Amino acid sequence: MREPRTFAVGERDFLLDGEPFRVLSGALHYFRVHPGHWADRIKKARQLGLNTIETYVPWNAHAPRKDEFLLNGGLDLGAFLDVVAAEGMFAIVRPGPYICAEWTNGGLPGWLLDTGVGAGTIRTGDPAFMAAVRGYLERLGPVIAGRQIDRGGPVILVQVENEYGAYGRDKDYLRELAGLILGCGVTVPLTTVDQPVGDMLASGSLPGVLATGSFGGHVAERLAALRAHQPTGPLMCSEFWDGWFDHWGSHHHVTPPAEAAAHLDDMLRAGASVNLYMFHGGTNFGLTSGANDKGTYQPVTTSYDYGAPLDESGNPTAKYWAFREVIARYAPVSADLPAATPGPAPRFSVPLGQALPLWDVLDRLGRPGRYDAIVTADE
């Protein structure tokens, strides 16, 4: 652990030990990256010129069952934050409970249905939902609280919910949730995030909690909307969409490096803090990728490359070098560079010696049925 320091929200800037500080952050989800690669990816974030790493926390991954809470292996958030600290960087933690993140159920555990929580009561002050959230935060809280900057750790910000203004406007729920987070020992500043469009900022923010924005382009317009909503405090885009995710069967999204770099330059020239979403996307291991259904059901691909500056394999892309050039105009950038990639991964094959036709086992898979809409695994 390092020496305890202070971090606060000032009238116009973040304040690190009382001095103005710009957060230059990159999103890197520990649960989408093999633990053996954490140090490499974090180092490459520092080499890009970033000073902070941001991560969501997927409740359903940590608590696959109501009576279980995992903090080991690829879910060892404490170890991940320790690696961030060892690289001399800060951290932002976004525990939800709803995280979106193109992650299955947005991070909400399926077992909530067994506790009386339904579609109409998630993300509300419903007693059953809030009791489950309280249990989650009580288990997670010590991992975060013990690693805050005022205790010698890297954590400088903790987010309340996630883009709630796109979902609801229940201020009592947000206040209660913020209270639960603070009650778990969190002393660093809290934030919310919403798109600075329409009434989303107003619906998803809380008085006394720093509101931040999520957007990719239209930087001046979005920052102006954020400032109009919040006359004081630092401007921050805590989700700068530098790429996008893909759906199975759809086209591959590509954001040109020069275009993304120009938007980043607009952001930094305006004096705003930023979190690159994503810096390194990683992989949706197992069956963790989520889906969108806005009239058409679209499952997310296994790859969460996201068109990020650091690709799914951990290699710098053209966007990485374009961003590094932009950041160097506004902040010190380390002279050391990422090591050269050793080459493409080796190809391998796995012989299949047996096959079992689906039609031969249909009678073992349950009764057939007809439905007007896709049935989810949670119903």
Enzyme catalytic residues:
163, 239
Give the pairing type, strands 190-194 and 155-159: parallel
Torsion of CA 172, 207, 105, 34, to 10 degrees: -140
For tokens 């040109």, name the residue.
256
How far apart CA 340 and CA 319 sit, in angstroms, is: 16
The answer to whether 200 and 187 have CB atoms below 8 angstroms apart is no
Q: What are phi and psi of 201, to 5 degrees?
A: -60, -45
Cα 151 from chain centre: 23
The answer to whether 80 and 74 have CB atoms below 8 angstroms apart is no
How far apart CA 327 and CA 254 sit, in angstroms, is: 21
Helix axes 257-269, 219-229, angle to 10 degrees: 40
Q: Which amino acid is at 121?
A: T
| Dihedral sign for Cα atoms in the order 87, 189, 326, 214 | positive
Bridge partners of 213, per DSSP, are 194, 237
For tokens 């799914």, name the residue.
312
| Dihedral sign for Cα atoms in the order 251, 253, 258, 263 | positive
The answer to whether 30 and 70 have CB atoms below 8 angstroms apart is no
How far apart CA 234 and CA 11 sit, in angstroms, is: 7
- For the purposes of burial, counting CB atoms within 10 Å of the CB of 357, is it exposed (0-12), middle (13-18) or buried (19 or more)? exposed
